[in-house]
Amino acid sequence: MSTDRRPGPGPDGAAAGLDGAAAGLDGAAPDYRPGRTLSVRAEWARQARRRRTQVALGFMVALPLIMLGAFQLGGNDDEPGPPGGGRFGSLVDLATSGGLNFALFTVFVSSGFLLVVVVALFFGDTVSSEASWGSLRYLLAAPVPRSRLLGAKLAVAAGYSLLAMLLLAGTALGAGTLRYGWEPLRSAVAAEVPAGEGLVRLLLVLGYIGISLMVVAALAFLLSVVTDAPLGAVGGAVMLYILSSILDQITALGDLRALLPTHFSDAWLGFLSTPVETGDAVRGAISAVCYATVFCALAWWRFLRRDIVS
């Protein structure tokens, strides 16, 4: 005897058929669309209201102004001293010789630590903060697909990191140009570069720094998925970056240093030379993309299998 009982054509059977159609074949609500949950726009607005986002972006604007004030108080800012101290020292000596040079100097002094912390903050705080507040499980119960949640948060963190870099460089360029004028780009490793070309080189420097910081971003994102403590995710990424920088200074490691994610962090100096040198920058970009891909893949793998209890 068959046990397959299908609703008949009567009123009860018709009602059951309508209920099944309304619920959908997968049991989801009729208006539920996974692609519409937690949009990037909504997540951007959520993060914009957070105090850490406002403080971080505000500091990106304030720092160039603080540095400009420091040069003003120091005096003789219209007469830069003779270049010295190697490739890095020249950026300090020429910082007040034009808006482009001031912007380049600001980016230089920020790339070693400040931008690392800001990027780690945006990426390391994004998932772990939800877990620490106890709201992560409610987002997933909405239901928001896990991959979509990670994708939205990753995109928004990348957007705010890019915005922070642009605010820093843009404020420095604008304030420096108003104070020191629109002058050619100068450095100790290149001939004087016209202002228009100098702006392109500044954008190349920013682009490469952004690519190299992908390692910090992906590592912080991975730690944000692993731990429920935002401070642990942010601090862990910064500490590992510093550790890599310290190991890179140990010449006894030889060619092994090329495997460190920070080995090519200063390759952007090649964009300031004459002619432009891109060899180290290409190798550094490939290294950063490889590390970032591995860390992001691990983050996805871990989060999709994690038992969310907070």
What pLDDT sits at residue 119? Answer: 96
What pLDDT sits at residue 292? Answer: 96
What pLDDT sits at residue 228? Answer: 85
What pLDDT sits at residue 72? Answer: 84
What pLDDT sits at residue 175? Answer: 95
What pLDDT sits at residue 34? Answer: 57
Q: Is the pTM of this model over 0.85?
A: no
Q: What is the pLDDT of residues 1-38, one digit of tens each?
A: 444 444 444 444 444 444 444 444 444 455 556 556 67
What pLDDT sits at residue 32? Answer: 53
What pLDDT sits at residue 7? Answer: 47
What pLDDT sits at residue 141? Answer: 64
Cis peptide before 30 (omega within 30 of 0): no
β-sheet bridge partners, residue 187 = 190
Cβ contacts of residue 139 below 8 Å, gap of 6+?
38, 130, 149
Q: Which residues of the chain are under the pLDDT cut of 70?
A: 1-37, 75-93, 138, 141-142, 188-191, 307-310
> Quick count: other Cβ atoms within 10 Å of Cβ 22?
9
What pLDDT sits at residue 25? Answer: 42
CA atoms within 13 A on the CB side of 272: 23
What pLDDT sits at residue 170? Answer: 96
Cα 91 to Cα 107: distance, rounded to the nearest angstrom: 10
What pLDDT sits at residue 189? Answer: 64
Buried b (16+ CB within 10 A) or exposed e, 276-297: eeeebbeebbebbeebbeebbe
What pLDDT sits at residue 33? Answer: 60
